[in-house]
C-alpha cells in the first residue's frame, strides 16, 4: 500500500514540475515568437497592396466585355460545300472514272458593312459549290463570292438581307503594338461565337520562309474553324483576320497568326472597286541583313532591307535609290526585315507615294518613291516578261511585243543555246499578236493545256523564230 501511495505521489509531483516548467519558459517563448510575427507582418502589406502596376493587375483592369459585345454579333459561321476527288476504286480505274464527293468545310467570317459584305479566308471558301453563313442569331443566309486573293488568303462574300447587319469597323494594324491585348472571335470546332484573349506576340511574321508574308502573331487560342474570324483590340476595332496556327497537331499549342487589317482592308476595297487586287511595286530586289550577310557585304548594319538590285524603269530607279542602299524606314514605319517591307507595300496601290529613308554609306537619305503597277509576268517555259517600251520595239524593228527580262523558265538552257536572252521581244503567242502583259495573260488563261504553246520571238540578231513548247 505504501508503495502504491509513493508511486502516485511521485507521478503527481513530476506532472506538477513539468507543467510549471512549461508555463515559466516554453509558453513565454512561444508568446514571443507569435508577437514577433505579428510585428513583422505589416511590413509585407504595402508590397501586397501596391499591385496595380503589375502585369497581372493590368490584365484584371482591362474590360474585354465591351470589345466582345461589339464584335461577337458581327462574326458569322461560314459553311462551304465543296466537290472533292475521292479515292478511286478498281471499278473506277477500269472505266476511267474520276469519283467525286461532297465535303463540308466550316470556318468564320466578319461582317464589315451593314448591307452584308463579309470578309473571310480564301481557303475557307475554296472550291465551294454551295456557300452559306449563319449569323449570331442563328439565321442562315446564302452567300456569294465577290472576289478572292489567294496571295493574301483573303476572300470577300456578300449576303442579301432586308435588315442592316451588325458589323465591325477596321482599325489601323500598323499602330498595333507588341504586348497589346487582343481578342480572337470565331467558331472553332463548330462552337459558335467563341471569344479568346491574348496579346500580340510579334508583327510582320513570315511562315513561308520566302519573306512573302507579314502576319500578326498572337497567343490568343485559335483552332480549326477560327479561320476567317476577327482579331480585335480592346476597343473592338478589327486589326486582323485570323488565318493560321503553328502546330504539329493541327490544333492550338501556343501561337496563331492573322492577316493585318490594313492589308485585308486594301484587298477587299480593290476587289469591290476593280474586281482584282492592285499591287504597287517599289521595284527592287530586297535582301535581309544579319551578322553573316552583313559581314559578307562588308557593312556594319544588321537591321533594315538591303537593296540588291534596282529594276529598270521602276519607282525605285526613278526616285534615285541605288544598289547598296539600306532601307530603314517607310512613312515613319521602322523597317527591320523584308517582311516589314512586304507587309507595308501590300497595303498600297499603284501611283501611291511613299517616303523612304535609307542608309547610303554613313548618310541617311530620303526619297519619295511612286509605286508602279506590276507589268511583269512569269511566262511558262520562258521566264519573266514585261511591257515593252517604244525604244525596245524600235531596236528590233517591230511594232508590237513584250520584252523578256529573265530567261529562267523550263527551257532556259535550250533557249539560251538558241541565242534567246534578256531584252529579246516576244511578238505573238498561239498565233495572236501581243502588245502587253495583259494580252499574254489572256492567251495563257484561255489556252488548251493539252496543246503546245506556240511562241514567236525576235532574237538578238533580229531574226524571227517560232517555238512550240509543251
Catalytic positions, please? 123, 153, 227
C-alpha–C-alpha distance, residues 301 and 393, integer Å = 42
C-alpha–C-alpha distance, residues 330 and 467, integer Å = 45
State which H helix or E strand residue 218 sits in.
strand 215-218
C-alpha–C-alpha distance, residues 372 and 179, integer Å = 35
Residue labelled with grid coordinates 535550250: 414
C-alpha–C-alpha distance, residues 36 and 112, integer Å = 65
Alpha helix segments (H runs only) across 72-188 = 90-95, 122-125
Closest Cα to residue 180, out of 198, 194, 195? 198
* Residues 172-210: b if buried by 16+ CB within 10 A, e if exposed: ebbebeeeebbbbbbbbeeebebbbbbbbbebbbbeeee
Cα dihedral 86, 87, 93, 95 in deg (nearest 10): -30
C-alpha–C-alpha distance, residues 447 and 454, integer Å = 10
Amino acid at each position: 500500500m505504501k508503495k502504491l501511495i509513493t508511486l502516485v505521489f511521485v507521478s503527481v509531483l513530476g506532472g506538477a514540475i513539468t507543467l510549471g516548467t512549461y508555463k515559466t519558459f516554453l509558453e513565454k517563448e512561444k508568446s514571443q515568437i507569435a508577437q514577433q510575427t505579428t510585428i513583422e507582418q505589416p511590413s509585407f502589406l504595402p508590397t501586397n497592396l501596391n499591385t496595380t502596376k503589375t502585369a497581372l493587375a493590368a490584365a484584371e483592369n482591362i474590360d474585354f466585355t465591351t470589345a466582345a459585345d461589339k464584335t461577337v454579333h458581327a462574326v458569322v459561321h461560314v459553311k462551304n460545300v465543296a466537290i472533292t476527288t475521292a479515292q478511286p476504286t478498281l471499278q473506277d480505274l477500269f472505266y476511267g472514272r474520276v469519283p467525286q464527293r461532297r465535303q463540308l468545310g466550316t470556318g468564320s467570317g466578319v461582317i464589315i458593312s451593314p448591307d452584308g459584305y463579309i470578309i473571310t479566308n480564301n481557303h475557307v471558301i475554296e472550291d465551294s459549290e454551295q456557300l452559306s453563313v449563319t449569323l449570331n442569331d442563328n439565321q442562315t443566309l446564302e452567300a456569294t463570292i465577290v472576289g478572292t486573293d489567294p496571295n493574301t488568303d483573303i476572300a470577300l462574300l456578300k449576303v442579301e438581307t432586308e435588315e442592316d447587319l451588325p458589323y465591325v469597323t477596321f482599325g489601323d494594324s500598323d499602330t498595333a503594338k507588341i504586348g497589346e491585348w487582343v481578342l480572337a472571335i470565331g467558331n472553332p470546332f463548330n462552337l459558335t461565337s467563341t471569344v479568346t484573349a491574348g496579346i500580340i506576340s510579334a508583327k510582320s511574321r513570315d511562315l513561308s520562309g520566302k519573306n512573302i508574308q507579314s502576319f500578326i502573331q498572337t497567343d490568343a487560342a485559335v483552332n480549326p474553324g477560327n479561320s476567317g474570324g476577327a482579331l480585335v483590340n480592346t476597343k473592338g476595332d478589327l486589326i486582323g483576320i485570323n488565318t493560321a496556327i503553328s502546330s504539329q497537331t493541327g490544333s492550338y499549342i501556343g501561337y496563331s497568326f492573322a492577316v493585318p487589317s490594313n492589308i485585308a482592308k486594301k484587298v477587299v476595297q480593290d476587289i469591290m472597286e476593280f474586281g482584282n487586287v492592285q499591287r504597287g511595286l517599289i521595284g527592287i530586289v530586297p535582301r535581309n541583313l544579319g551578322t553573316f550577310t552583313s559581314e559578307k557585304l562588308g557593312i556594319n548594319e544588321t537591321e533594315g532591307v538591303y537593296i540588291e538590285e534596282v529594276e529598270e524603269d521602276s519607282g525605285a530607279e526613278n526616285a534615285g535609290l541605288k544598289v547598296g542602299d539600306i532601307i530603314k524606314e517607310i512613312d515613319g514605319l521602322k523597317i527591320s526585315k523584308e517582311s516589314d517591307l512586304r507587309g507595308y507595300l501590300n497595303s498600297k496601290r499603284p501611283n501611291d507615294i511613299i517616303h523612304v529613308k535609307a542608309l547610303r554609306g554613313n548618310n541617311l537619305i530620303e526619297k519619295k518613291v511612286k509605286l508602279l503597277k506590276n507589268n511583269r509576268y512569269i511566262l511558262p517555259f520562258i521566264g519573266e516578261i514585261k511591257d515593252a517600251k517604244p525604244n525596245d520595239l524600235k531596236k528590233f524593228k517591230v511594232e508590237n511585243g513584250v520584252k523578256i527580262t529573265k530567261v529562267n523558265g523550263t527551257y532556259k538552257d535550250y533557249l539560251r543555246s538558241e541565242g534567246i536572252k534578256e531584252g529579246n521581244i516576244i511578238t505573238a503567242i498561239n498565233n495572236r499578236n501581243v502588245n502587253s502583259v495583259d494580252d499574254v495573260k489572256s492567251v495563257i488563261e484561255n489556252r488548251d493545256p493539252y496543246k503546245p504553246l506556240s511562241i514567236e520571238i525576235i532574237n538578238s540578231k533580229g531574226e524571227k523564230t517560232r517555238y512550240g513548247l509543251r
